[in-house]
Chain A
Amino acid sequence: MVAEMTAEGLALARRLVELAEQQGATEAEALVLGGTDQLTRFANSQIHQNVAETNTTVNLRFVEGRQIGVASTNRLDDESLRRLAESAASIARLQPPLEDFAGLPEPTPVAPAAGAYSEATAAATPEERAEAARAVIAGADEAGVLAYGSFRTATERVAVANSRGIAVEEERTYGQLITVSMDPSGSAGYAEGVAVDFREIDAAGLGREAANKARTSRAAQDTPAGDYPVVLEEYAVVDLLDMLGYMGFSGLAVQEGRSFFEPGRRIGSELVSIWDDGADPAGTPAAFDYEGVAKQRVTLVERGTCVDVVHDAQTGAKAGRGSTGHGLPAPNVWGPFPLNQLMAAGETPREELIGGLDKGLLVTRFHYTNPVHPKLAIVTGMTRDGTYWVEGGEIRHPVKNLRFTQSYIDALSGVQAVGSTRRLLRGFLGSVVVPALRISAFTFTGTTQH
């Protein structure tokens, strides 16, 4: 018999826990991840890739005393599941005990995450994604540029059961449209939309936004490297939260001494507040983590001051406080991760963010960023898809892209104004809800030729 994730995810997880216990597990955890992922990609104003995937993977954490083994498979017949349990058991028994293993997490009350799932997204068709692509392309055609991008509709079905009584299941969806418009000279513009219900994404509007950026980016001028005040659009601010989450807002990063985070340390201006909340409908909600623990709202930064970090069962136990519901699938040597970060909106409309810039740069988006020194939160990367010189509060002309080498916590300290609206976007692991920011100084260390 082959278990179908659509109806039997939790039953499958429970079955695996039973099989593990039959093999002698003192504790066991089964994570079932399934779903569909469909993506239509376009370039040069035509669709060039169009893909669909259906898959279900089961991941078994087998514990005997303090010995742990993990095995996973996407073969779901009974014989394969039995073999999986045997494999995890044999791996565990060959390990030295993990003396400080905190044990699997206990059940927590899990409230369903309202707004996590859209039937329309789960049922989205290639024809609907193609229609959206054509709407973007129409905007590019009107502006005399070419459209590039992708439209993704994804359904994730997650079920977790463990031998301590955790038994949770959830379906989550999202749609994501990203587009870059380019003209033959190479000037480019970017736009992105994310929603749990893909029908809420305004494909035509995003197409026009990117096309307008590409049009207004023509004839970009050279700007020397140096320190400039900046307005970062939401697309760029995503990277600040992504990188800070990766480098510092993890309990493991703090415990290993590699994080900039210290409770009470000021890392931002009074205008900066960041938290992680799986229940906030402004994001892409999720009720529990990959260990089956309810996601707590965790305040990371309050009015510029470090407050807390996220934990999984292991780091939470070491910290003496328990998991905050931010565990990743086992075996997880990366530690917990804030997958639902939000930044507080401010009171400054977009035009006043730019209007308050005497001389500086408006940055649409960052590209290929990478930590140079995680403890100091120094990151390097490039601008792309729309960078402009602003003077006297007005956009004067486009500029060629610049490289920055900048401490992101110093950037947060320099936040002078926060946009009054926010966008829901995708980071490299989860969703991020961010406003645009005006920052007093940003260090640009190099130039390029476009």
Chain B
Amino acid sequence: MRELAQRAVDTAVQRGAGYADVRVVRRNEESITVKSGRVEGVAFGESEGFGVRVLVDGAWGFASSNRLTAPEADRVAADAVRIARASATALREPVELDDRPPAHGRYATPVEEDPFAIPIDRKVADLLDADRRMNGVKGLAYTETRYNALREWKEFAASDGSQTDQEFTHVSAAIEATAVRDDEMQRRSYPDWGGGYSAAGYEHLRRLDLSGRAEELASEAVELLDAPQCPPGRTTIVLHPSQLYLQVHESCGHPIELDRVFGTEASYAGTSFLTTDKLDDGFQYGSELVNIVADATAPLGLGTFGWDDEGVAAQVVPIVEQGRFVGYLSSRETAPRIGRRSGGAMRADGWNRIPLIRMTNVNLLPQPGMTFDDIVADTDDGLLLAYNRSWSIDDRRLNFQFATEVAREIKGGKVGRLLKNPTYTGITYEFWRSCDAIADASDWVMLGTGNCGKGEPGQVAHVGHGVSGARFRDVQVGVGKW
């Protein structure tokens, strides 16, 4: 494949590209779904192809194909150059890339147990066991147990001589129990409804201990049917890591994407309130406790790699320091516009998509002093919210609203009764400024989402979030009519 990549680069340059890069990508995926004891879906998929990205007179072109042949490499490279020339007919500011040393080397996700080497029947048996334990609880409408493994091989070559090889392995597994009575419907999931992903091998599933959590989770789903409705009002909330990671994702991870700030997602996902003047002014994003980094080197992170899809080496980029906004996720095109070097955040969803600025691992750093349990014990009156149920945020990432699967009352530092249908809402920076406690490193976990959508045509990214739980004051809860 190395020859094909180089051939496409050479053809693009011969056709007039000032810069060209090529990714040859092969991806294997395996998925198993068990629903209420039935093994409903077991699938293996593979996809391979290559994408050619070119700059011609400051305009971008991209073309891709699944046919890995030399004539196709020539055709696609020529097509990319033609597309770039069409782009140039509606160009006002030619693209300029920052400088970086050519990239060379190899990276692979550390894996203890190769998920693809484990027989499928063993994996099915593990999932069936967890599913069976959930179904031992009476009163459920249905259960679902999911597993997914992904392995991706990526070869990158660029006209500056860069050549890298990378191999990624991501595994996800989750259990979910749903109880229904009349118009009421309650779901409980673990570790996360979205999938429970990690950059790891099958050891991730073993660490999750789905079977060990199944019965308690199923019982809670049934219990929620009779729980009181979460009342409206303003109160203190303590966010468990299972919800806090998505709060970081939506209200920090997306607004720090520099392409979004410059408007290139305006027609689809929107723009960002974190405009570049706020970087210059040291905008107070959160309280002094809030420290956030974009760390593409973090162990187990879905956004961990050796190089991004422009050949920029993985790095740790400060985003918020003691509450002050200090940095963006950026690319070789966008970083020079704020006088910086690329932070290495360009990632593409497979061979047939162009790299966009995506989150790596956007992590809320732990604070020494209190464990998560200490924070709860330190809370006189409030709600403990855990396990995401829904999410929404406006097109500048200011007004957000989340629902969680469970809320527990906190009274006098003790966790009390269960409440159903909890929601909370706020304005991003007001919310983060109200953060007055973040749990210490003993509770810090690397979570992530495997369904982060962005771009047109749509791209799905795996991104990581390390969090430990946190407390926020005076938050509006119980939104809407119930």
Contact = CB atoms under 8 A, between A and B. Distances in A.
A448 B421 CA distance: 23
B403 interface: yes
A96 B481 contact: no
A51 interface: yes
Interface stretch (B14-22, B34-42, B194-202): B34-42
Contacts of B86: 40, 47, 50, 125-127, 129-130
A432 B78 CA distance: 36
B399 A40 contact: no
A449 B398 contact: yes
B49 A446 contact: no
B403 to A, nearest CB: 5
A258 B480 contact: no
A372 B389 CA distance: 7
A428 to B, nearest CB: 9
A133 interface: yes
A256 B176 CA distance: 14
Contacts of A378: 480
Contacts of B394: 367-368, 382, 384, 401, 403, 448, 450
B263 interface: yes
Most buried by A among B43, B65, B121, B264: B43
A440 interface: no
Interface string A45-58: 11111111111110
Contacts of A372: 389-390, 403, 421, 423, 480
B83 interface: yes
A425 interface: no
A87 B44 contact: yes
B479 A405 contact: yes
A121 B45 CA distance: 30
A94 B30 CA distance: 14
A50 B38 CA distance: 44
B46 A73 contact: yes
A333 B91 contact: no
A130 B392 contact: no
Contact of A182 (B35, B60, B266, B403): B266
Interface string A87-110: 110111011101110000000000
A23 interface: no
Interface stretch (A8-16, A147-155, A285-293, A300-308): A147-155
Interface string B437-478: 000000000000000000011000000000000000000100
Interface residues of A, number: 94
A153 B96 CA distance: 28
A39 interface: yes
B392 A148 contact: no
Contacts of B40: 98, 331, 333
Contact of A73 (B45, B141, B267): B45
A330 B44 contact: no
A62 to B, nearest CB: 10
Nearest to A131: B89
Contact of B48 (A56, A75, A88): A75
B281 interface: no
B194 to A, nearest CB: 12
Interface string A174-189: 0000111010001010
A22 interface: no
Contact of B142 (A256, A381, A405): A256
B393 interface: yes
Interface in A27-56: 37, 39-56
Closest 4 interchain pairs by CB?
A331-B41, A405-B480, A126-B86, A375-B185
21 contacts: A42-B90, A44-B262, A46-B91, A50-B61, A52-B80, A71-B44, A72-B44, A75-B48, A91-B42, A92-B42, A100-B38, A127-B89, A148-B266, A179-B267, A180-B267, A182-B263, A372-B423, A372-B480, A380-B390, A380-B392, A381-B392
Interface of A: 2, 37, 39-57, 68-75, 87-88, 90-92, 94-96, 98-100, 125-127, 129-130, 133-134, 137, 146, 148-150, 152, 178-180, 182, 186, 188, 256-258, 260, 330-333, 367-376, 378, 380-382, 384, 401, 403, 405-407, 443, 445-450
Given A91-B43, A129-B86, A332-B41, 9 more contacts: A47-B60, A69-B43, A70-B44, A73-B45, A94-B42, A99-B38, A333-B41, A333-B144, A373-B185
